[in-house]
């Protein structure tokens, strides 16, 4: 088949801004995007820079954006990307500075992985022979241990686009690997650290990391598991935990989300400086009719007609959670 690769090229030595270059080549139907790029590099333009190693979706080095989404080039078939003969658009990963063409600088990625202390920290006496872990515990961790640190989730993370201090999905998925390991003795300390600004509470649940992960690690789900663990462990004195608890309390009380109360409950009723900072937003909401006045006076806020069913859902969930413990 004939395919056109539209590759984003950038050479820091020329100083020219990044620009797309088109390469039309013949490739077999089974060719991957990586096969095609290597063909371009070997036979058309030897200056094209890209990373790859295993060519089997194991090493994680060939992550790049293909048709607007982070993927492993060696796992992505050209035939699936070039529907109706459209060109295949290939760009470097996002959220990381580009060194040249499709090669990005992953230093910030590795720094965040190091930041979560990616090693076991057992406490207490050492076992005579080895630490034993139950089959169930390892099964829970096996999914996250499939991570090949390719960076696809970080590339397409929407929080990182606006806040570089976010630890980001890959490192937080790795963090779960140790928080969830029964051999680790620092679970509480870890959860406390990951609950700080830039950690588990800063994920916006956009689901991009789940969608692009080529190994089914589902980093966002691991982040949500750590949030539940942090609340369970009593780490509730932070905006994220308070926000979650305020949200559920509001729904349980009236069957509705009381947005007017959500902010003071999340930030703290006596946190005057933070509340004053939010005041202009609240006023804007009020002016545009997005904040019902009755929400400002909780006694006026009536529960919805089906509130008993809503509360029954809460009771069922709590009963289920207790049997799980």
Could you say whether residue 60 binds ligand FES (CB under 6 A)?
Answer: yes
**Helical spans, DSSP H, in 13-86:** 33-43, 78-81
DSSP 14: T
53 near ligand FES (CB under 6 A): yes
CB of 210 to ligand FES, least distance (A): 19
> Tokens 């490192």 label which residue?
171
Near ligand FES by CB under 6 A: residue from 61, 76, 258, 295 = 61
Interface with ligand FES, residue 216, by CB under 6 A: no
Residue 7 phi/psi, 5-degree rounding, is -105, 130
82 part of the interface to ligand FES, by CB under 6 A: no
**Cβ 33 to ligand FES, closest distance in Å?**
10
Q: What number of other Cβ atoms are within 10 A of residue 179's Cβ?
A: 23
Q: How many Cα atoms are found within 13 Å in the side-chain-facing hemisphere of 254?
A: 16
Question: Which lies closer to ligand FES via its Cβ, residue 59 or residue 274?
Answer: 59
> Cβ of residue 27: shortest distance to ligand FES, in angstroms?
17
Q: At 220, is the secondary structure helix, strand, or coil?
A: helix
Q: Does 50 bind ligand FES (CB under 6 A)?
A: no
Q: List own/partner pairs for 226-235 with CB under 8 A and 24 or more apart.
A: 226/172, 226/175, 226/176, 226/179, 226/191, 226/194, 226/200, 227/200, 227/201, 229/179, 229/187, 229/191, 230/191, 230/192, 230/194, 230/195, 230/200, 233/187, 233/188, 233/191, 235/188, 235/191, 235/192, 235/195
Q: Which stretch binds ligand FES (CB under 6 A): 60-68, 118-126, 168-176, 316-324?
A: 60-68
CB 35, min distance to ligand FES, A = 11
Asked whether position 55 contacts ligand FES by CB under 6 A, the answer is yes
> Is residue 52 part of the contact set for ligand FES (CB under 6 A)?
yes
User: Is there binding between residue 99 and ligand FES (CB under 6 A)?
Assistant: no
The residue within the footprint of ligand FES, chosen from 27, 66, 74, 88 (CB under 6 A), is 74
Gap between the terminal Cα atoms of the chain: 56
At 320, list the tokens: 């289920």
The backbone region for 34, taken as left when phi is positive above 0, alpha when psi lies in -120 to 50, beta otherwise, is alpha
Least distance to ligand FES from the beta carbon of 73, Å? 6
Q: Tell the smallest beta-carbon distance from residue 75 to ligand FES (Å).
A: 7
CA gap 61, 80 in Å, rounded: 21
235 is a contact residue toward ligand FES (CB under 6 A): no
Q: Which is nearer to ligand FES, 154 or 235 (CB)?
A: 154
**Per CB under 6 A, does 89 bind ligand FES?**
no
Residue 44 as a binder of ligand FES (CB under 6 A): the answer is no
The count of residues in the chain is 325
Task: Decide: is 213 part of the binding site for ligand FES (CB under 6 A).
Answer: no
Beta bridge partner(s), residue 23 = 5
Residues with Cβ < 8 Å from 220, sequence gap 6 or more?
169, 203, 205, 207, 209, 210
Q: Which is nearer to ligand FES, 35 or 278 (CB)?
A: 35
Determine the Cα–Cα distance for residues 164 and 59; give it in Å rounded to an integer: 25
Tell me the closest approach of the beta carbon of residue 122 to ligand FES, in angstroms. Answer: 32
Does residue number 103 form part of the binding site for ligand FES (CB under 6 A)?
no
Shortest spacing between CB 29 and ligand FES, in angstroms: 20
57, 159, 171, 223: residue in contact with ligand FES (rule CB under 6 A): 57
Binding stretches for ligand FES (CB under 6 A): 52-55, 57-62, 72, 74
């Amino acid at each position: 088949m004939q395919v056109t690769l539209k590759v984003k090229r950038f050479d820091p030595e020329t100083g020219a801004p990044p620009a797309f270059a088109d390469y039309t080549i013949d490739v077999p139907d089974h060719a991957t995007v990586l096969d095609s790029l290597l063909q371009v590099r070997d036979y058309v333009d030897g200056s094209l820079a890209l990373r790859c190693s295993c060519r089997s979706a194991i090493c994680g080095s060939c992550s790049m954006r293909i048709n607007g989404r982070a993927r492993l080039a060696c796992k992505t078939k050209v035939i699936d990307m070039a529907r109706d003969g459209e060109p295949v658009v290939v760009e470097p990963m996002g959220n990381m500075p580009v060194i040249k063409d499709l090669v990005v600088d992953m230093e910030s990625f590795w720094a965040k992985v190091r930041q979560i202390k990616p090693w076991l920290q057992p406490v207490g006496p050492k076992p005579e022979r080895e630490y034993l872990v139950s089959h169930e515990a390892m099964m829970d961790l096996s999914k996250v241990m499939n991570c090949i640190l390719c960076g696809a989730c970080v590339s397409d993370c929407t929080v990182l686009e606006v806040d570089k201090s976010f630890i980001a999905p890959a490192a937080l998925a790795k963090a779960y690997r140790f928080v969830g390991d029964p051999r680790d003795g620092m679970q509480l300390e870890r959860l406390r650290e990951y609950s700080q600004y830039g950690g588990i509470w800063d994920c916006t649940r956009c689901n991009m990391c789940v969608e692009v992960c080529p190994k089914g690690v589902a980093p966002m789900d691991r982040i949500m598991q750590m949030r539940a663990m942090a609340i369970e462990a009593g780490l509730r004195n932070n905006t994220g935990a308070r926000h979650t608890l305020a949200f559920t309390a509001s729904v349980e009380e009236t069957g509705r989300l009381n947005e007017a109360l959500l902010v003071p409950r999340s930030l703290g009723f006596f946190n005057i400086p933070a509340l004053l900072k939010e005041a202009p937003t609240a006023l804007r909401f009020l002016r545009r009719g997005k904040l019902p006045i009755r929400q400002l006076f909780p006694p006026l806020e009536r529960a919805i007609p089906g509130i008993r069913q809503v509360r029954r859902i809460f009771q069922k969930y709590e009963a289920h959670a207790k049997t799980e413990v």
